[in-house]
Structure 1
Amino acid sequence: MTHFVLVAGAWLGSWAWRDVAPDLRAAGHGVHPLTLSGLADKRGAAAGPGTHVQDIVDEVERLGLRDVVLVGHSYAGIPVGQAAERIGDRLARAVFVDANVPADGESFVSGWPDGRAGVEAAIAANEGFWPPPAAADCEGQGLTDEQIARFLGGATPHPGVTLTEAAVLARPLGLLPTTYVKCLLDWPEPSPEVAELLTSERWRLVTMDTGHWPMFSQPRELARILLDAVETDG
């Protein structure tokens, strides 16, 4: 049995995977949606440097999971990429869903050269948290009005320190067995950092004809891609 540990991006929690999880479970796999500290149902939990990476490692170890597929969406690619190397031989594959990827010594906002100042200013103006987006920010992402309402209705402010802390990697990310899922409506090409990683023989690219939040816009297609990643490995 493969165990999927699902980690959604900024502002989101385990609830975001509601429509993805059933197909994974129906295929006979373990499914473990995870809320990171300071978000959603863990909004009161403190989140400092390294907390989100440790959240993921602790979940894998607490449950005694093996044959683990770590799935990180958007921001969550940063802690997932770091946790993937820390769980050692428990890892079967990492899957980045339209995600940022960690680089040693760099942070989430490091990859936002044009928007870094805006993110940092928003964090400073909101008591250390990055506020959720507005409905207008979700336009053009393949979401229905109902899906946007569900996304924004569940979104919570994101702990700012997790966005500005530097990632720590012991070895090149390109050595991990990885699938990268690019959502074409968000931006048609992978970032330069991801494009370089995709030159590794251990990385594979899959595309989705939807926007940045496929767990809402195309959950069953996303589940199929996750299952295909496991079957290909098998």
Structure 2
Amino acid sequence: MTNFVLVAGTWLGAWAWDEVAAQLRAAGHDVHPLTLSGLAEKQGAAAGLETHVRDVVDEVDRLGRRDVVLVGHSYAGIPVGQAAERIGDRLRRVVFVDANVPVDGESFLSGWPSDHVRQSIADHDGFWPPLGAPDYAGQGLTDEQIARIVDGSTPHPGATLTEPAVLAGASGDLPATYVKCLLDGDEPMPAVAGLLKSDQWELVEMATGHWPMFSQPRELARVLRASVAAT
């Protein structure tokens, strides 16, 4: 049995993993989807990037488990990647699902044209408002799946996107799987491409879009189970 801690990206909470979690539990694993501070049922909680890192570390501490696989989707790759080095030998593997990875001194918004996001955060009292249904087109999602995402999304705390990551070591030293969703682009971002040169990292491709927990939950669960065999 492996202990999975699942963390979704911007605007989403633990609920986003319902179908994936059911598949993993059916295979005999212990699964703990986590909502980060300020999102979903935790709306109203003040949150910066360090808050989200602590959310993940505290969940591992609360569980009191070893052999932990941390899974971070999209934005959540940044706090999950930082938490992975903090939990030490309790970590079995970290899986980045079409995710950003932490780069010391850089934020989620670093390295890409993000002025519009910063302006949106400023215009919405420090929060990044969720996307609308048209923004999910071309990502392998049904209308029903898109509606579920849009209806469940909540504004994302802006400080978590603008504050820099802090790393003590090299992410390439972590045992890691990177899941690239091909409808969201054929190639991993440059920071990820560099890390994939490490012997500790493996690349897995999925023929779906950026939200595979909705578009292909069974396939994503299989990928997560297979990542355990990689260690």
Question: Take 2:117 and 2:172, find their aligned partners in 1: how far apart are those partners?
Answer: 28
Task: Specify the SS of the correspondent of 1:153.
Answer: helix
Cα deviation digits, residues 184-226 of structure 1 (max 9, x gap): 0011110111111000000000000000000000000000000
Find the counterpart in structure 1 of residue 81 from structure 2.
Answer: 81
Aligned position for 1:145: 143
1:58-114 deviation line (CA, Å, top 9, x unaligned): 0000110210000000000000000000000000000000000000000000032x2
* Residue identity matched to 2:123: A
For residues 122 and 78 of structure 1, the distance between their equivalents in structure 2, rounded to whole angstroms, comes to 21
Distance (whole Å) between structure 1 residues aligned to residue 34 and residue 109 of structure 2: 23
Q: Which of 183, 186, 191 is equivalent to 1:185?
A: 183
TM-score by length of 1: 0.97
Secondary structure of residue in 2 paired with 1:106: coil
TM-score norm. by structure 2 comes to 0.99
* 8 Å Cα contact 2:49-2:161 kept in structure 1: no
Distance in 2 separating the partners of 1:173 and 1:29 = 26
Q: Which blocks of at least 5 consecutive residues in structure 1 are unaligned?
A: none
- How many corresponding residue pairs? 231
CA distance in 2: counterparts of 1:61 and 1:129, whole angstroms: 29
Partner Cα distance (1:103, 1:44) in 2? 28
Deviating runs (4+, > 4 A) in structure 1?
none
| Match of residue 96 from structure 1 | 96
Matches for 1:6-45 after TM superposition, within 5 Å: 6-45=6-45
Q: Is 2:72 aligned against 1:72?
A: yes
* Structure 2 letter corresponding to 1:60: V
User: How much has 1:232 moved relative to structure 2?
Assistant: 2.7
- Structure 1 residue 46 displacement after superposition: 1.5
Per-residue CA distance 1:98-153 (angstroms, 9 max, x = gap): 000000000000032x2x10110000000000000111110000000000000000
CA deviation after TM superposition for structure 1 residue 34, in Å: 0.0
Instruction: List gaps (5 residues or longer) in structure 2.
Output: none
Question: What is the one-letter code of the residue matched to 2:165?
Answer: A
Instruction: Letter of the 1:193 partner, please give it.
Output: A
- The sequence identity of aligned pairs, in percent, is 72
Deviations 1:156-196 (A, max 9, x none): 00000000000000011000000000000011110111111
